[in-house]
Structure 1
Amino acid sequence: MFEVFMFVNPIGTCCYQTEQTIMKTMKEADAITRYHLIPLANMKTIQSDLIRKHKCPTNLETYNHASEETFAALKDYHAIKMAYGNKIARKYCLAVQHNINDLNKEYNTGLFKNLIQELGLSIPKIQSARMSTYLNESIAADERLAQKWHINDTPTTVIFNDEDENSGLIVEGHLLHDELLQIINGFDI
């Protein structure tokens, strides 16, 4: 079995494309795979995404706006994860990225509420989870995993073959469909 860990900026451009590639490839792969989405937000991930969007990362107003959107999306993701589990949180993250990247929307309270309604979730339940002290612990656990594996930017994909404990591959940036399919279908890591 392969485990695929995808470190993403919750509102990132390239992250969304890479996630789509990974999910499509996993459906086609001959091997059993397990997918983990790990949203990550820090100065580097925000600056990288601004550059990809052709915005100036050194403009303080631009950076602060992107930072507020990114951290709000990160906290909302973790609140949904705590309230509804990983699968629903992953659906939410993909819906956020679709709206931002394909529909050119900004992450704000209106988008949050619309997506929560579309997914049939409870805003009070999510807000309660967002106020929980466990929210910061959940975010910190993901940050520790990123530090352990020296993940500094997004998207970054980490692939393990559970049958070989010494195997592992870290791919920074966009991962191509054919490359991932070859890795999962039998090429040694």
Structure 2
Amino acid sequence: MITSTHSSKGNQYKQITEIYLFINPIGSACYQAENGLLDFIESRENKIHFHFIPVHNFKTFSDYMKAKKIPKNDLDLRNKHFFQIYEACLAYAAASMQGKKKGRLFLMGLQQAITIDEKPFSQKLVLEIAIKSNLDIEMFSEDKQSEFAKTAFEADQKVAREMHVLSNPSCVVFNNQSSNHGFLIEEDINFETLQALCSENKDENYSAFSSKNEKKNHLLIL
């Protein structure tokens, strides 16, 4: 699903593309979407600003539970998975404090270990991926327990709410030379979709994508 969202961003003479990808830090579909976005960025000549933002709330967690077929009545298991995702969000925030590139490397390393290599989430695995990502381990361990990491997590949730993100992966694409709208993508987040939205005929593509969506929300993003 793709919907349009208003932005206060004004047009500039220089083309600026900005992409926000909202993810579950241990989700397989999110890992695929991240790879698709990175492949797209690698193919572009113009610079693209992008952000990986973890989203963890009741709605996204319920979707995760359904996808994993985790019984609703098993409260211990629900709590275990809920806090695993939360801990992964804090770990990603801590890794990102040592640089966005290292943060992404840690995030995707963790996702690959869990979703591809099928390793169970644990603090031991988190530490293993942190070492492979060349993080300062002492700093990382302190930061993921810090109030700053929790504040960073809450700030990410605020961004998601402002952009009316209800699921992950979700993607919001802005291009200042086409319109003052951002487009929220809630499915088919891949190289082809991103290329179509950012092509020379992007205005036509926006209209084509929007026409497929019966619910066209126009959302103010501050």
Which TM-score applies when normalising by structure 1? 0.91
The 2-side partners of 1:10 and 1:31 are apart by 28
Contact 2:60 2:168 in 1 (8 A): yes
Which residue is equivalent to 1:78? Answer: 93
Q: 1:184 aligns with which of 189, 192, 198?
A: 198
For residue 164 of structure 1, report the CA deviation from its aligned partner. 4.5
Contact 1:2 1:162 in 2 (8 A): yes
For residue 133 of structure 1, report the CA deviation from its aligned partner. 2.3
Contact 1:5 1:36 in 2 (8 A): yes
Which residue is equivalent to 1:137? Answer: 151
Contact 2:113 2:119 in 1 (8 A): yes
The 2-side partners of 1:165 and 1:145 are apart by 21
The 2-side partners of 1:4 and 1:111 are apart by 29
> Taking every aligned residue pair, what percent have the same amino acid on both sides?
24
For residue 85 of structure 1, report the CA deviation from its aligned partner. 1.9
Within 5 Å, give how 1:1-189 maps onto structure 2. 1-82=16-97, 84-164=98-178, 166-186=180-200, 187-188=202-203, 189=206
* Corresponding letter in the other structure for 1:177: F
For residue 111 of structure 1, report the CA deviation from its aligned partner. 0.6
What is the aligned length?
188
Task: Give the RMSD, CA atoms, in angstroms.
Answer: 1.8
SS in 2 for 1:158: strand
Contact 2:170 2:186 in 1 (8 A): yes
* Corresponding letter in the other structure for 1:111: L
For residue 172 of structure 1, report the CA deviation from its aligned partner. 1.1
Contact 1:157 1:170 in 2 (8 A): yes
Contact 2:92 2:103 in 1 (8 A): yes
The 1-side partners of 2:66 and 2:143 are apart by 33
In structure 2, runs of 5+ residues without a counterpart are 1-15, 207-222
* Corresponding letter in the other structure for 1:80: A
For residue 80 of structure 1, report the CA deviation from its aligned partner. 1.5
For residue 170 of structure 1, report the CA deviation from its aligned partner. 0.1
* Corresponding letter in the other structure for 2:198: I
Contact 2:18 2:49 in 1 (8 A): yes
**Alpha carbons of structure 1 residues 56 and 13: separation in structure 2 relative to 1, 3 Å:** farther
Which TM-score applies when normalising by structure 2? 0.78
**Alpha carbons of structure 1 residues 30 and 96: separation in structure 2 relative to 1, 3 Å:** same
SS in 2 for 1:168: strand
Runs of 4+ in 1 over 4 A off after TM superposition: none
Q: Deviations over 1:6-28 (max 9, x none)?
A: 00011112111111111112222
